[in-house]
Structure 1
Amino acid sequence: MEGGVNKDLSNLKTPSTDEEFTDVLLQIRASKTPAVINYGASWCRVCNQILPAFQKFSKEFSKLSFVYADIDECPETTQQIRYTPTFQFYCDGERVDEMFGAGEERLRDRLWLHS
Protein backbone atom coordinates (compact mmCIF):
# COMPACT_ATOMS: atom_id res chain seq x y z
CA MET A 1 0.00 0.00 0.00
CA GLU A 2 1.18 3.53 -0.67
CA GLY A 3 2.35 5.55 2.30
CA GLY A 4 4.32 2.66 3.69
CA VAL A 5 1.86 1.33 6.25
CA ASN A 6 3.44 -1.74 7.84
CA LYS A 7 0.81 -4.45 8.20
CA ASP A 8 3.05 -6.40 10.61
CA LEU A 9 2.78 -3.94 13.50
CA SER A 10 0.47 -5.61 16.00
CA ASN A 11 -0.74 -2.28 17.36
CA LEU A 12 -1.56 -0.85 13.91
CA LYS A 13 -4.22 -2.48 11.77
CA THR A 14 -4.69 -1.55 8.13
CA PRO A 15 -7.87 -3.09 6.75
CA SER A 16 -7.93 -3.12 2.96
CA THR A 17 -11.58 -4.08 2.36
CA ASP A 18 -14.95 -3.08 3.80
CA GLU A 19 -15.27 -6.56 5.32
CA GLU A 20 -11.91 -6.29 7.09
CA PHE A 21 -12.76 -2.80 8.37
CA THR A 22 -16.14 -3.99 9.66
CA ASP A 23 -14.32 -6.77 11.55
CA VAL A 24 -11.88 -4.24 13.05
CA LEU A 25 -14.76 -2.02 14.18
CA LEU A 26 -16.46 -5.01 15.80
CA GLN A 27 -13.21 -5.89 17.60
CA ILE A 28 -12.90 -2.30 18.89
CA ARG A 29 -16.47 -2.37 20.21
CA ALA A 30 -16.09 -5.83 21.76
CA SER A 31 -12.66 -5.36 23.35
CA LYS A 32 -13.40 -2.01 25.01
CA THR A 33 -9.76 -1.14 24.28
CA PRO A 34 -9.19 2.57 23.59
CA ALA A 35 -8.66 3.04 19.86
CA VAL A 36 -7.95 5.65 17.23
CA ILE A 37 -8.92 5.35 13.58
CA ASN A 38 -7.09 7.42 10.97
CA TYR A 39 -9.23 7.84 7.85
CA GLY A 40 -7.04 8.84 4.93
CA ALA A 41 -6.43 8.36 1.23
CA SER A 42 -3.36 7.54 -0.82
CA TRP A 43 -3.92 10.65 -2.99
CA CYS A 44 -4.18 12.98 0.04
CA ARG A 45 -0.92 14.88 0.54
CA VAL A 46 -1.72 15.83 4.16
CA CYS A 47 -2.67 12.21 4.95
CA ASN A 48 0.67 11.00 3.62
CA GLN A 49 2.50 13.65 5.65
CA ILE A 50 0.91 12.62 8.99
CA LEU A 51 1.08 8.85 8.36
CA PRO A 52 4.71 8.37 9.54
CA ALA A 53 3.87 10.16 12.81
CA PHE A 54 0.73 8.00 13.20
CA GLN A 55 2.90 4.90 12.77
CA LYS A 56 5.43 6.22 15.29
CA PHE A 57 2.67 7.01 17.80
CA SER A 58 1.31 3.46 17.45
CA LYS A 59 4.54 2.29 19.11
CA GLU A 60 4.63 5.12 21.65
CA PHE A 61 1.01 4.74 22.84
CA SER A 62 0.89 0.97 23.28
CA LYS A 63 -2.37 1.01 25.29
CA LEU A 64 -4.27 2.32 22.26
CA SER A 65 -5.27 0.30 19.23
CA PHE A 66 -4.39 2.11 15.99
CA VAL A 67 -6.24 1.66 12.70
CA TYR A 68 -5.50 3.23 9.33
CA ALA A 69 -8.45 3.03 6.92
CA ASP A 70 -8.05 4.21 3.32
CA ILE A 71 -11.40 5.62 2.20
CA ASP A 72 -10.85 4.30 -1.33
CA GLU A 73 -10.16 0.75 -0.13
CA CYS A 74 -13.15 0.73 2.27
CA PRO A 75 -15.71 2.89 0.41
CA GLU A 76 -18.88 1.47 1.97
CA THR A 77 -17.76 1.63 5.60
CA THR A 78 -16.13 5.06 5.27
CA GLN A 79 -18.77 6.91 3.27
CA GLN A 80 -19.59 9.15 6.28
CA ILE A 81 -16.04 10.58 6.16
CA ARG A 82 -16.03 14.02 4.50
CA TYR A 83 -12.47 15.22 5.22
CA THR A 84 -9.10 13.47 5.11
CA PRO A 85 -7.41 12.95 7.36
CA THR A 86 -10.06 12.40 10.02
CA PHE A 87 -9.14 10.82 13.34
CA GLN A 88 -11.83 9.19 15.46
CA PHE A 89 -11.18 8.17 19.06
CA TYR A 90 -13.00 5.31 20.78
CA CYS A 91 -13.30 4.44 24.46
CA ASP A 92 -15.27 1.46 25.79
CA GLY A 93 -16.42 0.74 22.25
CA GLU A 94 -17.99 4.17 21.72
CA ARG A 95 -16.72 7.08 19.63
CA VAL A 96 -15.82 9.86 22.08
CA ASP A 97 -13.82 12.35 20.02
CA GLU A 98 -12.97 13.37 16.48
CA MET A 99 -10.18 15.45 14.96
CA PHE A 100 -10.03 16.82 11.41
CA GLY A 101 -6.79 17.58 9.62
CA ALA A 102 -3.20 16.91 10.55
CA GLY A 103 -0.78 18.37 13.04
CA GLU A 104 1.64 16.09 14.82
CA GLU A 105 1.47 17.89 18.18
CA ARG A 106 -2.36 18.13 18.05
CA LEU A 107 -2.52 14.42 17.33
CA ARG A 108 -0.03 13.54 20.09
CA ASP A 109 -2.06 15.59 22.58
CA ARG A 110 -5.28 13.84 21.63
CA LEU A 111 -3.61 10.41 21.82
CA TRP A 112 -2.23 11.24 25.24
CA LEU A 113 -5.67 12.38 26.38
CA HIS A 114 -7.31 9.12 25.24
CA SER A 115 -4.61 6.66 26.31
Structure 2
Amino acid sequence: MRKQEPEEANRNVNMETATSDQSLITILDDIKSSKLPAVINYGASWCGVCNQTFPAFQELSNSFKRIKFVYADIDECPENTLHIRYTPTFQFYRDGEKVDEMFGAGEERLQDRLWLLS
Protein backbone atom coordinates (compact mmCIF):
# COMPACT_ATOMS: atom_id res chain seq x y z
CA MET A 1 0.00 0.00 0.00
CA ARG A 2 1.22 3.48 -0.81
CA LYS A 3 2.14 5.58 2.21
CA GLN A 4 0.81 9.11 2.16
CA GLU A 5 1.86 12.05 4.25
CA PRO A 6 -1.10 13.31 6.34
CA GLU A 7 -1.19 16.56 4.34
CA GLU A 8 -1.25 14.61 1.05
CA ALA A 9 -3.97 12.27 2.30
CA ASN A 10 -6.18 15.23 3.22
CA ARG A 11 -5.84 16.67 -0.27
CA ASN A 12 -7.31 13.51 -1.80
CA VAL A 13 -10.65 13.22 -0.07
CA ASN A 14 -12.20 11.88 -3.27
CA MET A 15 -10.03 8.75 -3.31
CA GLU A 16 -10.52 5.57 -1.31
CA THR A 17 -8.03 2.73 -0.93
CA ALA A 18 -9.04 -0.92 -0.75
CA THR A 19 -6.80 -2.43 1.91
CA SER A 20 -8.15 -5.99 1.84
CA ASP A 21 -10.43 -8.29 -0.13
CA GLN A 22 -13.31 -7.39 2.20
CA SER A 23 -12.80 -3.65 1.79
CA LEU A 24 -12.75 -4.05 -2.01
CA ILE A 25 -16.02 -6.01 -1.85
CA THR A 26 -17.55 -3.23 0.26
CA ILE A 27 -16.35 -0.57 -2.18
CA LEU A 28 -17.70 -2.49 -5.20
CA ASP A 29 -21.05 -2.96 -3.45
CA ASP A 30 -21.14 0.78 -2.72
CA ILE A 31 -20.40 1.59 -6.38
CA LYS A 32 -23.22 -0.71 -7.50
CA SER A 33 -25.76 0.62 -5.03
CA SER A 34 -24.91 4.32 -5.25
CA LYS A 35 -24.92 4.35 -9.07
CA LEU A 36 -22.32 7.14 -8.96
CA PRO A 37 -19.60 7.13 -11.62
CA ALA A 38 -16.40 5.51 -10.37
CA VAL A 39 -12.94 4.46 -11.48
CA ILE A 40 -10.85 1.75 -9.87
CA ASN A 41 -7.08 1.76 -10.33
CA TYR A 42 -5.74 -1.78 -9.90
CA GLY A 43 -2.00 -1.61 -9.31
CA ALA A 44 0.86 -3.09 -7.32
CA SER A 45 3.56 -1.59 -5.12
CA TRP A 46 6.26 -3.39 -7.15
CA CYS A 47 4.96 -2.08 -10.50
CA GLY A 48 7.10 0.78 -11.82
CA VAL A 49 4.43 2.00 -14.25
CA CYS A 50 1.84 1.97 -11.43
CA ASN A 51 4.12 4.06 -9.24
CA GLN A 52 4.65 6.54 -12.08
CA THR A 53 0.93 6.93 -12.85
CA PHE A 54 -0.34 7.03 -9.26
CA PRO A 55 0.41 10.76 -8.66
CA ALA A 56 -1.56 11.66 -11.80
CA PHE A 57 -4.44 9.46 -10.61
CA GLN A 58 -4.41 11.35 -7.29
CA GLU A 59 -4.43 14.72 -9.03
CA LEU A 60 -7.29 13.65 -11.32
CA SER A 61 -9.29 12.64 -8.23
CA ASN A 62 -9.14 16.29 -7.18
CA SER A 63 -10.27 17.48 -10.63
CA PHE A 64 -13.21 15.08 -11.12
CA LYS A 65 -15.15 15.51 -7.87
CA ARG A 66 -18.30 13.79 -9.19
CA ILE A 67 -16.42 10.54 -9.84
CA LYS A 68 -15.45 8.17 -7.03
CA PHE A 69 -11.76 7.20 -7.24
CA VAL A 70 -10.52 3.91 -5.79
CA TYR A 71 -7.04 2.39 -5.60
CA ALA A 72 -6.69 -1.37 -5.06
CA ASP A 73 -3.31 -3.08 -4.73
CA ILE A 74 -3.62 -6.54 -6.25
CA ASP A 75 -1.37 -8.01 -3.55
CA GLU A 76 -3.58 -6.65 -0.76
CA CYS A 77 -6.80 -7.88 -2.42
CA PRO A 78 -5.65 -11.15 -4.01
CA GLU A 79 -8.94 -13.05 -4.02
CA ASN A 80 -10.90 -10.26 -5.72
CA THR A 81 -8.26 -9.24 -8.25
CA LEU A 82 -7.58 -12.59 -9.89
CA HIS A 83 -9.17 -11.20 -13.09
CA ILE A 84 -6.53 -8.42 -13.32
CA ARG A 85 -3.86 -9.45 -15.83
CA TYR A 86 -1.99 -6.15 -16.31
CA THR A 87 -1.00 -3.39 -13.92
CA PRO A 88 -2.14 -0.76 -13.90
CA THR A 89 -5.69 -1.59 -14.99
CA PHE A 90 -8.38 1.07 -14.74
CA GLN A 91 -12.04 0.04 -14.64
CA PHE A 92 -14.79 2.61 -15.14
CA TYR A 93 -18.31 2.29 -13.69
CA ARG A 94 -21.52 4.13 -14.51
CA ASP A 95 -24.88 3.39 -12.91
CA GLY A 96 -23.31 0.53 -10.97
CA GLU A 97 -22.05 -1.31 -14.08
CA LYS A 98 -18.56 -1.58 -15.55
CA VAL A 99 -18.61 0.36 -18.82
CA ASP A 100 -14.93 0.59 -19.80
CA GLU A 101 -11.46 -0.70 -19.01
CA MET A 102 -8.01 0.69 -19.74
CA PHE A 103 -4.65 -1.07 -19.44
CA GLY A 104 -1.31 0.61 -18.83
CA ALA A 105 -0.15 4.17 -18.48
CA GLY A 106 -1.40 7.22 -20.28
CA GLU A 107 -2.51 10.25 -18.33
CA GLU A 108 -4.23 11.80 -21.37
CA ARG A 109 -6.10 8.57 -22.17
CA LEU A 110 -7.16 8.31 -18.54
CA GLN A 111 -8.26 11.94 -18.41
CA ASP A 112 -10.27 11.53 -21.65
CA ARG A 113 -12.09 8.50 -20.25
CA LEU A 114 -12.82 10.31 -16.99
CA TRP A 115 -14.20 13.26 -18.93
CA LEU A 116 -16.53 10.91 -20.84
CA LEU A 117 -17.58 9.25 -17.57
CA SER A 118 -18.36 12.52 -15.78
Q: Normalising by the residue count of structure 1, what TM-score does the alignment of the two structures yield? A: 0.94
CA RMSD of aligned residues (A): 1.5
- Structure 1 stretches of 4+ moved >3 Å: 3-9
The aligned counterpart of 2:27 is: 24
- Kindly indicate whether the alpha-carbon contact (under 8 Å) linking 1:36 and 1:87 is maintained by their aligned counterparts in 2: yes
Any unmatched runs of 5+ in structure 2? none
User: 1:3 and 1:60 mapped to 2: Cα distance?
Assistant: 21
Which one is further off, 8-17 or 45-54? Answer: 8-17
Give aligned pairs, total: 115
Deviations 1:34-86 (CA, angstroms, capped at 9, x unpaired): 00000000000000000000000001000100000000000001110000000
- Flag the 1:7–1:76 CA change in 2: closer, same or farther, 3 A: farther
Any unmatched runs of 5+ in structure 1? none
Which one is further off, 64-73 or 1-10? Answer: 1-10
User: 2:42 and 2:35 mapped to 1: Cα distance?
Assistant: 20
1:2 partner amino acid? R
The aligned counterpart of 1:82 is: 85
The aligned counterpart of 1:37 is: 40
- Kindly indicate whether the alpha-carbon contact (under 8 Å) linking 1:7 and 1:14 is maintained by their aligned counterparts in 2: no
More helix by share: 2
Q: Does 1:2 align with 2:2?
A: yes
2:77 partner amino acid? C
Which one is further off, 67-76 or 1-10? Answer: 1-10
2:112 partner amino acid? D
